[in-house]
Structure 1
Amino acid sequence: MEIRKTKPEELNILIRMYENARIFMASHGNPLQWGNTYPAPQILMDDISSGNSYVCVEHDKIIATFYYKEGIDDTYVRIYEGQWLNEAPYGVVHRITSDGTIRGAASFCLNWAFNKCGNLKIDTHRDNIVMQHLLDKNGFKYCGVVYLENGSERIAYQKV
């Protein structure tokens, strides 16, 4: 597997991947995290344009995608019911999903991001048991609760 930046012409592939991810999440007890429309195509295009959208490729096929950026994320400035493991500079991963064809693709993406910065923060919905298991399996520690800009609660994890 290989990680690279997403190309603008790959937007439709990402849109289909997220459509499938929303169906998967809803069928696994998590219908609210991304609802029926998140992430909107414009968010994905903004991620690509800013250079923060990445894809995981195997045999010339995109099998996973995610947002990665190093630096302060406004969502993580305040944490409730806990605390971050440290206050050192960090990277963040958002909107990670895979197409489910290659086992371990999401773990590969998370490990790639961690290896880039050595201090990684991520959050997920309380109902996203699949993602919580993935984070636990990959050495992330539960740190507390954060709130998105729209007020939605997320549980926060960090790996150092």
Structure 2
Amino acid sequence: MHQSPIQFKLRIAHTDDQEIIWKIIQGAILRRKKDGSTQWQDGYPNPETILNDINNKNGYVLEINSEIVAYTAIIFEPEPAYNEIIGSWLSDQNYVVVHRVAVHENWLGKGLATKIFELTEEVALLNKVYDIRVDTNFDNAPMLKILDKLGYTYCGEVFFRGSARKAFEKILQ
């Protein structure tokens, strides 16, 4: 029996995607808590965060064969928290920021967070941006592993809502 290839699509989220996006985010919040992490345990992200992403055209959903399986925010504006870093960024060129990467619980362990980063690189290049920055909690082992695997460089620490976060950058060729 011939299986048709998986069709991945990263697209800008719409307001009618908000319910499934919030479900995906809630699952990720619970997973972080079960992992013993402090990340996302302070009321962020919340439904308002997601609605702002959508309204600002920063929210993206990853679809497999038209089913929404993951979410991220891809932001083409400077992140104010990145202005002060203990360490240093690799460049001072325009960059895209990746925030709020979350995969639906039914799709865990299938490399979808990695796929989001790979497709984000394509989105950045299409927009003629050759630099991606991201931060994560010190205890987010899955994300740290992904960033290492994809060639992101650890640049130092940035601070969000009073907490230090590991900051990474990748220059696209």
Give the TM-score range, shorter chain.
over 0.9
Between Structure 1 and Structure 2, how many residues are aligned?
157
Choose which of 126, 144, 154 in structure 2 pairs with 1:132: 144
Instruction: Please give the alpha-carbon distance, in whole angstroms, between the structure 1 residues aligned to 2:24 and 2:77.
Output: 27
Partners of 1:154 and 1:98 lie apart in 2 by 21
Q: How far is 1:36 from its partner?
A: 6.0
Post-superposition offset of 1:86:
1.0
CA deviation profile, 1:112-152 (whole Å, cap 9, x unmatched) = 2223132100000111111111111111111100012x222
Partners of 1:41 and 1:89 in 2: CA distance: 29
Q: Which moved more, 1:63-72 or 1:95-104?
A: 95-104
In 2, the alpha carbon distance for the partners of 1:84 and 1:153 equals 16
Q: Distance in 1 between matches of 2:27 and 2:43?
A: 11
Spell out structure 1 runs of 4+ moving beyond 2 A.
none
1:45 partnered with 2:46: no
The structure whose Rg is larger is 2
2:118 to 111, 114, 119: 111
Contact 2:70 2:101 in 1 (8 A): yes
**Paired residue for 2:12?**
5
Q: In 1, are the aligned partners of 2:158 and 2:165 still within 8 Å (CA)?
A: yes
Whole-angstrom CA distance in 1 between matches of 2:153 and 2:28: 24
TM-score (norm 2): 0.86
CA deviations over 1:73-129 (Å, ceiling 9, x no partner): 10111110x211111110000001111516121111112222313210000011111
Q: In structure 2, how many angstroms separate the alpha carbons of the residues matched to 1:48 and 1:156? A: 24
Percent identity over the alignment is 29
Do 2:94 and 2:130's aligned partners in 1 also have CA atoms closer than 8 Å? no
CA–CA distance in structure 2, aligned partners of residues 84 and 29 of structure 1: 29
Paired residue for 1:29, among 28, 31, 36?
Answer: 36
State the Cα distance separating 1:37 from its structure 2 match. Answer: 3.3
SS state at 1:44 partner: helix
Alignment of 1:56-135 (within 5 A): 56-80=62-86, 82-100=87-105, 101=107, 103-115=110-122, 116=124, 117-135=129-147
Which SS does the other structure have where 1:45 is aligned?
Answer: helix
In the aligned structure 2, how far is the partner of 1:96 from the partner of 1:37?
Answer: 16
